[in-house]
């Protein structure tokens, strides 16, 4: 498979003044320009209380039409329903977008529904779409339709290759992958796995993010495989077929594990797909802190598996930052304005468009282990402590005791 590569050029973060076009081609008054300047907002101002979004109320008041967010499914990750949907709505309300102009939907894994939702939203007055399609083909189709109808699209979390969107908002995905790889290496050492025999997993190959995650962790692991310090049991440069579907991921792992009985470690880019595999390994008699495994999304199962010693860690992506950044850019676009450079801190290459640089808001992910869970996920109230520390993990590890040990 030809791997798609993303280049991220980080630009300087600075506030930018705007001149807004008005009827007849005249520019806005000094007062109008000052209002735009005073409403400028930066990525660094975004917090988990959404208070910075209030600065956008004057911009929201100048805009008309709906902002519609279309999320992909409720099965590949718990984040879409549990975090993105409510946080996108919260960010829009905080920015001053009227509730009647807010649409947040989930396509439930259906490409046809995703496209139909976009058409319906545009018919019903959407001026800006935030889209996270399951694959780039669906995304590009939606973006072509939106462009034809004068509607702006923001690629939310996943870049639509070959698309026509003016902006992309996500976490720095190659860095997400590097954190997975680095966390895995640290875990192998901490758990005293002397000869790692690794099964390398991959996300859905139709998702550009999965490719970028793989690029990241492969950049860390490839030298280990080349030197012989680690062994890729599938063969150097090889990985499982790739999926975000948990049952399919389990089948892929079982096939690899059965064929390579010496395997004693797994690199996986997703908590959801790792969870079923970890349960399978526990049934096989694997003990805590013996079989390194990784994940992403800081989901409840991933956090509990980390505290219980069955997962090395998970990549925490503060979705409240991503939701606010996307909504902030959408609020400017809804008002017919150009978002400030303080919201657009880099570019991402669309390789299907001859490396066309897509202006991007790229946010910083964090590798979370038992040691820093309290100062990251718990501090941000991303997942309630009452949930993390409740019950037992797979009937074997008391979570209250595990939390206490981690200082939570």
Asked if 286 and 396 sit in the same domain, the reply is yes
pLDDT digits (tens, 9 = 90+) for 227-244: 999 999 999 999 999 999
Mean pLDDT of the region 146-161: 97
Mean pLDDT of the region 23-35: 37
Q: Considering just the CA atoms, what is the radius of gyration of the chain in Å?
A: 22
265 beta partners: 198
Mean pLDDT of the region 54-63: 97
Asked if 225 and 156 sit in the same domain, the reply is no
Asked if 346 and 262 sit in the same domain, the reply is no
Say if residue 29's pLDDT is above 90. no
Residue 122 within any structural domain of the chain: yes
Asked if 191 and 299 sit in the same domain, the reply is yes
pLDDT tier for residue 39 given thresholds of 50, 70 and 90: low
**Closest by alpha carbon to 311, among 350, 349, 282?**
282
Cβ-based neighbour number of residue 24 at 10 Å: 5
Asked if 201 and 160 sit in the same domain, the reply is no
pLDDT tier for residue 12 given thresholds of 50, 70 and 90: very low
> What is the number of H-type helices and E-type strands within the chain?
14, 15
pLDDT value at position 223?
98
What range defines the domain where residue 192 resides?
173-317+366-405
Asked if 147 and 295 sit in the same domain, the reply is no
Positive or negative: CA dihedral 114, 119, 123, 128: positive
Alpha carbon distance 291, 301 (integer Å):
17
Alpha carbon distance 179, 192 (integer Å):
20
pLDDT tier for residue 56 given thresholds of 50, 70 and 90: very high
Asked if 267 and 393 sit in the same domain, the reply is yes
DSSP-derived letter for residue 376 is I
Residue 3 within any structural domain of the chain: no
Alpha carbon distance 365, 296 (integer Å):
10
Say if residue 172's pLDDT is above 70. yes
pLDDT tier for residue 202 given thresholds of 50, 70 and 90: very high
pLDDT tier for residue 354 given thresholds of 50, 70 and 90: confident
Mean pLDDT of the region 36-42: 68
Residue 18 within any structural domain of the chain: no
The CATH number for 190's domain is 3.40.50.2300
DSSP H/E element including 82? none
Asked if 196 and 335 sit in the same domain, the reply is no
pLDDT digits (tens, 9 = 90+) for 283-300: 999 999 999 999 999 999
Range with the poorest average pLDDT among 191-195, 272-276, 324-328, 350-354: 350-354
Residue 107 within any structural domain of the chain: yes
- Residue 243: both structure tokens together: 């999926």
- The alpha helices in 9-65, defined as continuous H runs, are 30-38, 57-62
**Mean of per-residue pLDDT scores for the chain:** 91
Range with the poorest average pLDDT among 19-23, 33-37, 209-213, 325-329: 19-23
Residue 16 within any structural domain of the chain: no
DSSP-derived letter for residue 81 is I
Alpha carbon distance 278, 280 (integer Å):
5
Asked if 117 and 150 sit in the same domain, the reply is yes
Alpha carbon distance 108, 370 (integer Å):
33
The residue count for the chain: 408
pLDDT digits (tens, 9 = 90+) for 102-134: 999 999 999 999 999 999 999 999 999 999 999
pLDDT value at position 77?
87
Alpha carbon distance 155, 168 (integer Å):
5
pLDDT value at position 137?
95
**Predicted model pTM:** 0.85
Residue 86 within any structural domain of the chain: yes
Q: What is the DSSP string of 244-278?
A: S-HHHHHHHHHHHHHH-TT--EEE-S-HHHHHHHH
Pair type for strands 397-398 and 152-156? unpaired
pLDDT tier for residue 34 given thresholds of 50, 70 and 90: very low
Residue 275 within any structural domain of the chain: yes
pLDDT tier for residue 394 given thresholds of 50, 70 and 90: confident
% pLDDT > 70, the chain: 90
Pair type for strands 294-296 and 265-267? unpaired
Mean pLDDT of the region 171-200: 97
Asked if 136 and 208 sit in the same domain, the reply is no
Alpha carbon distance 265, 18 (integer Å):
53
Asked if 354 and 397 sit in the same domain, the reply is no
Question: What's the total number of domains in the chain?
Answer: 2
Q: Reduced to 3 DSSP states, what percent helix, strand and coil does the chain have, rounded to the nearest 5?
A: 45, 15, 40
Alpha carbon distance 197, 256 (integer Å):
12
Asked if 50 and 177 sit in the same domain, the reply is no
Sorted by sequence, the CB contacts under 8 Å of residue 250 that are 6+ apart come out as 273, 276, 277, 280
pLDDT tier for residue 14 given thresholds of 50, 70 and 90: very low
Alpha carbon distance 313, 371 (integer Å):
10
Say if residue 2's pLDDT is above 50. no
- The answer to whether the beta carbons of residues 28 and 20 sit under 8 Å apart is yes
**Closest by alpha carbon to 104, among 142, 143, 130, 74?**
130
Say if residue 9's pLDDT is above 90. no
Place of tokens 């139909």: 116
pLDDT value at position 164?
94
Within its chain, how far is the Cα of 307 from the centroid? 22
313 beta partners: 294
Say if residue 342's pLDDT is above 80. yes
Alpha carbon distance 306, 285 (integer Å):
18
Q: What is the DSSP string of 86-114?
A: HHHHHHHHHTT--GGGEEEEE-TT-HHHH
Residue 5 within any structural domain of the chain: no
């Amino acid at each position: 498979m030809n791997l798609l590569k993303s280049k991220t050029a980080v630009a300087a973060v600075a506030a930018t003044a705007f001149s807004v076009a008005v009827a007849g081609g005249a520019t806005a008054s000094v007062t109008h320009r000052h209002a735009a300047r005073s409403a400028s907002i930066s990525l660094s101002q975004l917090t988990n209380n959404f208070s910075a979004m209030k600065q956008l109320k004057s911009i929201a008041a100048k805009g008309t039409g709906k902002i519609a967010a279309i999320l992909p499914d409720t099965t590949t990750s718990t984040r879409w329903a549990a975090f993105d949907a409510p946080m996108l709505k919260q960010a829009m309300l905080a920015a001053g977008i009227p509730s009647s102009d807010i649409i947040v939907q989930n396509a439930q894994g259906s490409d046809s529904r995703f496209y139909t939702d976009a058409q319906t939203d545009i018919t019903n007055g959407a001026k800006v779409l935030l889209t996270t399609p399951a694959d780039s083909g669906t995304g590009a189709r939606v973006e072509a339709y939106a462009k034809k109808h004068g509607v702006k699209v923001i690629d939310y979390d996943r870049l639509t290759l070959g698309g026509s969107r003016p902006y992309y908002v996500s976490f720095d995905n190659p860095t997400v992958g590097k954190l997975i790889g680095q966390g895995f290496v640290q875990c192998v050492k901490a758990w005293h796995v002397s000869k790692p025999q690794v099964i390398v997993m991959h996300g859905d190959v139709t998702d550009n993010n999965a490719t970028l995650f793989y690029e990241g962790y492969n950049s860390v692991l490839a030298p280990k495989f080349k030197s012989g310090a680690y062994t890729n049991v599938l063969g150097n440069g090889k990985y499982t077929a790739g999926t975000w579907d948990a049952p399919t991921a389990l089948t892929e792992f079982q096939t690899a594990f059965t064929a390579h009985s010496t395997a004693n470690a797994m690199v996986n880019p997703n908590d959801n797909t790792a969870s079923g595999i970890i349960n399978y390994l526990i049934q096989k008699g694997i003990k805590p802190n013996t079989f390194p495994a990784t994940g992403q999304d800081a989901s409840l199962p991933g956090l509990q598996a980390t505290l219980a010693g069955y997962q090395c860690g998970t990549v925490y992506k503060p979705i409240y930052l991503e939701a606010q950044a996307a909504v902030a850019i959408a609020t400017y676009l809804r008002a017919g304005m150009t978002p400030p450079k303080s919201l657009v801190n880099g570019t991402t290459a669309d390789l299907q468009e001859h490396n066309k640089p897509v202006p991007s808001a790229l946010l910083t992910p964090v590798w979370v282990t038992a040691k820093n869970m309290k100062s990251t996920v718990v501090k941000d109230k991303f997942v309630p402590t009452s949930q993390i520390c409740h019950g037992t993990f797979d009937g074997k590890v008391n979570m209250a005791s595990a939390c206490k040990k981690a200082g939570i």
